Amino acid sequence: MSSLNRLIVVLLFDGVDLLDVTGPPEVFALLRRETGSAQSYHVVLAAETMEAVTTSAGVRILPDLTFADAAARSIDTLMVPGSVEVDGLDRVHAVTDPAVVHWVKELAGRSRRIASVCVGAHLLAAAGLLDGKRATTHWSTAQQLAADHPAVEVDADPIFIRDQDVWTGAGITACLDLSLALVAEDFGEAVALRVARQLVMYLKRPSGQSQFSVPIEPVSTTRRMDDLRHYITGNITGRLSVTDLAEHAHVSERQLTRIFKTELGMTPAAYIESARVEVARNQLESTDDTLERVASACGFNTPDTLIRAFRRKLNTTPTEYRSRFRHTRHP
């Protein structure tokens, strides 16, 4: 397929998340600059009409063509951003306008591949494009996606997932990782990494990379839970057994487990492992320490324990993680 035929259509509709729309085209624009040739994409924004569309940020964007016009073309990649609303209880819900869903289904039939950005996965699911497929979305709406579409295998952890010709991305900035993965598929890993450097993304994250890290876990609702989390962080190389934590919090071991389950949705052991993986990630990104030193610094003690934890939490190894995420030092 000629590079001039690589038409990327990004959907526009009222309330769409602004970064979902603007992030991927920025990646694709840098591709042309990096390659210095016509080998690139032609990105257009499509909407119901040619009127300006108001995004969730209040910024108004003009489309390049209508959905109907786009349906008359051969589309290389259809990119579907998302939109959310917040109810009176501060709960986030993905929005699926039936009119937009109709055009998603229509345009998907004209596309070589389809990619959703963030909660755009809900639009793909509503159009029946994710049935029988594994998909991800922003963690805040993953439960909604699973409940509304039981035929979809929802995995809220990876930053993006590819299942045949359908790609789904996780929240917000993961749209850059997804876009880089599309570039890598079309033009190779070396080109994608050059684009990543221009974006000051030190490297391109693998799809198995978790969209979670310990600092952004849900904020606890009690001072006691906050104290426990700070205690774990401050004693990350210690034993940190359930008994130790229960004694620190002045509760029984059973009550401690209940507190973690209720407020963080995980066991104390799972949280401690996540905290240690987070420390290990920082070490691998910013130092040249051996795996033995990294394991010791984060409380895993042995490289084997560190490796097993990385496979469980991030679906990768410490060595692969470092090769992709090690910060480049400049003189």
Domain residue ranges of the chain, discontinuous segments joined by +: 3-198, 214-325
* CATH code reported for the domain at 3-198: 3.40.50.880
pLDDT per residue over 272-312, tens digit each?
999 999 889 888 877 889 999 999 999 999 999 999 999 88
Confidence (pTM): 0.65
Q: Which of 30, 118, 291, 306 is catalytic?
A: 118
Give 121-175 as a DSSP string: HHHHHHTTSSTTSEE---GGGHHHHHHH-TTSEE--SBSEEEETTEEEE-STTHH
> Residue 282 and residue 296: Cα distance in Å, rounded?
14
pLDDT at 331: 37
Give 86-127 as a DSSP string: E-TT--EEE---HHHHHHHHHHHTTEEEEEE-GGGHHHHHHT
Q: Is 175 a catalytic residue?
A: no
Bridge partner list, 154:
135
Of residues 85 and 196, the one with the higher pLDDT is 85
pLDDT per residue over 96-119, tens digit each?
999 999 999 999 999 999 999 999
Residue 220 has pLDDT above 80, yes or no: no
Q: Are 193 and 324 in contact (CB under 8 A)?
A: no
pLDDT at 209: 53
> Residue 173 and residue 201: Cα distance in Å, rounded?
11
Question: Residue 222 CB: number of other CB atoms within 10 A?
Answer: 11
pLDDT at 37: 62
Which class for 25: exposed (0-12), middle (13-18), buried (19 or more C-beta within 10 A)?
Answer: middle
Write out the two tokens for 52: 């300006």
pLDDT at 210: 54
pLDDT at 10: 98
First-last CA distance in the chain: 42
> Residue 170 and residue 182: Cα distance in Å, rounded?
15
The CATH class for the domain spanning 214-325 reads: mainly alpha
